[in-house]
Chains A and B, each alone.
Chain A
Amino acid sequence: SQQGEEDPQALSIQEGENATMNCSYKTSINNLQWYRQNSGRGLVHLILIRSNEREKHSGRLRVTLDTSKKSSSLLITASRAADTASYFCATDAGSAAGNKLTFGGGTRVLVKP
């Protein structure tokens, strides 16, 4: 079963515009992470936000976390064609062994030049 559900499933924007995608999850978490996957490649870690944090920035990325609503959002500002990829949220429930992550279904982002 998927812990995280991303919305929308797909997003098409023009270069320079902002892209926002949301993630909802079901159970308590230790942290939430966002990953990017380019076509035919493995996932690459983008940013981690802990359960006691509300907002985090990394370059053109801004992540928010609302634990009361069990939701997170990822904002990519001033998008570039190179941002075309699938984006996944992943939750860490803080289990004692393994730092296991549960991934959502992803949001496919197309940035048109």
Chain B
Amino acid sequence: NAGVTQTPKFRVLKTGQSMTLLCAQDMNHEYMYWYRQDPGMGLRLIHYSVGEGTTAKGEVPDGYNVSRLKKQNFLLGLESAAPSQTSVYFCASSYIGTLHFGNGTRLTVT
């Protein structure tokens, strides 16, 4: 019973490079989310999805894009990474309001 799986676990990028973070859930949840966690800031919502084929902006969407082509997958893309995007990224899914989180991707942009 995997729950929410994030890949990769760690990544180092150079400024201007692009990458995609993958989130997969096996709980058949409709809702999925991408958060970033920075020291002292708690978690901030980047983008979310209320179902397959839908996406919406959260609190801090600039510099990120997302896609939800399949219900179980939610992809977060960085087209041109910046040092300000150094953070830990968490994916979560939910069905009735409580969130199930993956273990995060630690991204460093140099």
Interface residues of A (CB under 8 A from B): 1-2, 4, 9, 31, 33, 35, 40-45, 48, 88, 90, 92, 97-106
CB pair A43 B50 closer than 8 Å: no
Contact among B33, B45, B97, B104 for A92, CB-based, below 8 A: B97
Contact among A2, A9, A31, A41 for B97, CB-based, below 8 A: A31
Interface residues of B (CB under 8 A from A): 4, 31, 33, 35, 40-45, 48, 50, 56, 58-59, 90, 92, 94, 96-104
CB pair A105 B40 closer than 8 Å: yes
Tell me, in angstroms, the Cα distance from A97 to B94 when the chains sit together: 12
Contact among A9, A45, A98 for B31, CB-based, below 8 A: A98
Knowing A31-B97, A42-B102, A44-B101 are in contact, say whether A97-B50 is a contact too (CB < 8 A). yes
Chain B positions within 8 Å of A1 at CB level = 59
Chain B positions within 8 Å of A40 at CB level = 103-104
CB pair B99 A101 closer than 8 Å: yes
Chain B positions within 8 Å of A97 at CB level = 50, 56
Tell me, in angstroms, the Cα distance from A4 to B58 when the chains sit together: 16
Tell me, in angstroms, the Cα distance from A100 to B97 when the chains sit together: 8
Tell me, in angstroms, the Cα distance from A48 to B101 when the chains sit together: 16
Contact among A98, A102, A105 for B50, CB-based, below 8 A: A98
**Residue picked from B44, B59, B97, B102, most chain A C-beta under 10 Å:** B97
CB pair B42 A2 closer than 8 Å: yes
Tell me, in angstroms, the Cα distance from A97 to B92 when the chains sit together: 15
Nearest 5 pairs of A and B residues by beta carbon: A42-B101, A103-B43, A103-B42, A105-B42, A45-B98
Chain A positions within 8 Å of B33 at CB level = 98, 100
- Complex A-B: 21 CB contacts under 8 Å: A9-B40, A33-B97, A35-B99, A40-B103, A40-B104, A41-B103, A42-B90, A42-B92, A42-B102, A42-B104, A43-B99, A48-B98, A90-B99, A99-B96, A99-B97, A100-B58, A101-B45, A101-B99, A103-B42, A103-B43, A105-B40
